[in-house]
Structure 1
Amino acid sequence: MNKAFTRETDGDDDEGVEPALALPQGTRNYITPGGYKRIKDELDQLLRVERPHLVEVIHWAASNGDRSENGDYIYGKRRLREIDRRIRFLTKRLDLAEVVDPAARRENTDQVFFGATVTLCDEQGEEQTYRIVGVDETDFSRNKISWVSPLARALLKAREGDQVRFQSPAGWREVEVLVVEYVTIEP
């Protein structure tokens, strides 16, 4: 069969998404205002800049004649499918998002909830600070952990001074909650 009559499948919108970004079944997609803005900005960039520019390139490439050996056309169409898949994914995530501003909802509490910035002391006496954020905002290099991660789940509802035990990839660990803060931080 000629390649012109075959169709590459777009697959499911969540196909190719890192497992860490998958939400547990039946949970809400909590997100901070900064994370919501970052996703909204990416969606706007794709819809208003990248996709229209790519459509122009594909139109130009198609007008050059033979499409079967036209690299600009072939790779442009492939990139267009990737952009459309990302647009569907981001739109779905924004539709499911429940924006929670940690600073507005929790002020004078020493208990850990979504959006908390928590300073911990591990068994070796080392201090580490993590911010509990939404699944789409996770960035371990910046110490932002998902609220569905094992550490965050163990920390939720803990108070300053509590010892918390959780299962890490290296085995069971125990940490002490030193400080709990709620601040609004941009992405």
Structure 2
Amino acid sequence: MSRAFVNEDNAAAQADQPVERQVSAQPNYVTPSGLAQLQARVAQLQALHGQHAAKGDQADKQRIADIERDLRYFNQRLQSAQVVVPTSMDQVRIGHWVTFVDEHDHEQRVQLVGEDQADAASGLINWGSPLGRALLGAKVGDEVIWERPVGNLAIEIIAIELD
């Protein structure tokens, strides 16, 4: 067999391998509900893997590879999770709900969470995002600068709450 065909076969096999999910370099701080979500995701992926693997030769090999990639990622996230349970409300911490008002009198309420739990549409903000970094450590009455791509925005913290 020609070397060209061997190399093509190797390239095709490598192309079928899923690209690994990138793991953030920032510490993996999670809220208790974020930890529960990670645990549920791992359990869901394990069940899904079992269902697909049980099909034997009929199984979609690419789907199994994708599930295994996601399992590696979420298992790693679960292993590195550092649960943060805020107690005092003197300063904004991960897990706190924060209400702030901007210089245009627009009020917003968000919760600082870990990156795997973040969902901006639901008000769940990654603590390492520009908004999260601006809020972290602030106190009620503090004015902080939210550095945004469209321009900086001054915001004032008006409330800090637990769940």
With the shorter chain as reference, the TM-score category is 0.7 to 0.9
**Structure 2 equivalent of residue 152 of structure 1:** 132
Look up the SS of the partner of 2:131 in the other structure: helix
Which of 10, 13, 26 is equivalent to 1:7? 13
Where structure 1 has 5 or more consecutive residues not aligned to the other structure, the ranges are 16-21, 62-72
Which of 132, 145, 148 matches 2:112?
132
- Residue type matched to 1:82 in 2? D
SS of match in other structure, 1:101: coil
> One-letter code of the match for 1:35?
G
Q: 1:51 aligns with which of 31, 46, 49?
A: 49
Matched with 1:89 is 73
Determine the structure 2 residue equivalent to 1:30: 29
Counterpart-to-counterpart distance in 1, 2:66 and 2:19: 12
Compute the displacement of 1:44 (Å): 0.8
Matched, 1:168 2:159: no
Give the length in aligned residue pairs: 156
Structure 2, unaligned runs of 5 or more: none
Q: Indicate if the aligned counterparts of 1:110 and 1:181 stay in contact, CA closer than 8 A.
A: no
Paired residues of 2:21 and 2:70 also in contact (CA < 8 A): no
Partner of 1:143: 123
User: In the alignment, residue 40 of structure 1 is paired with which amino acid?
Assistant: Q
Identical counterparts, % of pairs: 31
- RMSD (Å), alpha carbons: 1.9
Matches for 1:110-121 after TM superposition, within 5 Å: 110-121=90-101
AA aligned opposite 1:14: R
The equivalent of 1:100 in structure 2 is: 84
In terms of mean alpha carbon deviation, does 151-160 or 4-13 score higher?
4-13
Residue 12 of structure 1 and its aligned partner are, at CA, apart by 5.8
Deviation at 1:127, TM superposition (A): 0.7
